[in-house]
């Protein structure tokens, strides 16, 4: 958590920690899913795991620890995969990091009508104004949300944009994983 601001909320710190981790892996990575657990609870209830994660000596008394989950199946659409998830009570929230192509709002009027999903994806990939973006989105059981966006062309920790409502549909899909 070397570059995350200490004044930020625990959820913002967790999102920035995941963004920093994903940044260290480079671009063109698969989506990654993380459970978010209360760090103090983890230290108390799972001291061996906390030690493996290097948390036993941390001075911080509150916070969230991201724990990466198994790989997301590449052959299954992300929304379908998220619909299969059920979290145990010990999980306070979850986060997902995923790379996508993005167009500026000015390109919206240029989108050809009647394209199926595959042709639309190709059209976006070929668009001269496209930008690659890594999105890290996190939600807590209580409804709190946070996101971090990193553009490939501005791949620097100081250029990461954060906010609760940057990727609302993805946040909604993650929140649905906590619904019973």
Residue 125: what pLDDT? 82
Q: How far apart are CA 97 and CA 175, in angstroms?
A: 15
pTM for this entry: 0.83
**Strand partners of residue 98:** 135
180 band by pLDDT with thresholds 50, 70 and 90: confident
Q: How many CB atoms lie within 10 A of CB 56?
A: 11
149 and 161 Cβ atoms separated by less than 8 Å = yes
133 band by pLDDT with thresholds 50, 70 and 90: very high
Residue 1: what pLDDT? 45
Phi and psi, residue 104, nearest 5°: -70, 155
Question: Of all residues in the chain, what percent carry a pLDDT higher than 70?
Answer: 92
Q: What is the pLDDT of residues 30-63, one digit of tens each?
A: 999 999 998 888 888 887 877 777 776 665 556 8
Cα 54-56-61 angle, rounded to 5 deg: 115
Q: How far apart are CA 37 and CA 63, in angstroms?
A: 8
Residue 108: what pLDDT? 76
Q: How many CB atoms lie within 10 A of CB 53?
A: 17
Residue 61: what pLDDT? 57
Q: What is the pLDDT of residues 70-105, one digit of tens each?
A: 989 888 888 899 999 999 998 999 999 999 988 877
Q: What is the pLDDT of residues 141-155, one digit of tens each?
A: 999 999 999 999 888
């Amino acid at each position: 958590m070397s570059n995350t601001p200490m004044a930020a909320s625990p959820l913002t710190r967790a999102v920035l920690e995941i963004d920093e981790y994903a940044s260290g892996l480079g671009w063109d990575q698969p989506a990654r899913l993380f459970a978010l657990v209360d760090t103090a609870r983890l230290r108390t209830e799972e001291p061996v795991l906390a030690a493996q994660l290097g948390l036993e000596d941390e001075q911080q008394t509150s916070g969230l620890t991201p724990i990466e989950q198994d790989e997301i199946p590449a052959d299954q659409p992300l929304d379908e995969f998220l619909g299969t998830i059920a979290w145990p009570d010990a999980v306070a929230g979850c986060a997902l990091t995923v790379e996508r192509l993005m167009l500026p709002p000015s390109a919206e009027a240029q989108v050809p009508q009647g394209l199926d999903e595959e042709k639309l994806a190709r059209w976006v990939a070929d668009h001269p104004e496209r930008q690659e973006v890594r999105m890290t989105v996190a939600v807590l059981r209580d409804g709190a949300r946070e996101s971090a966006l990193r553009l490939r062309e501005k791949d620097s920790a100081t250029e990461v944009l954060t906010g609760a409502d940057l990727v609302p549909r993805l946040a909604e899909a993650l929140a649905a994983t906590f619904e019973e």
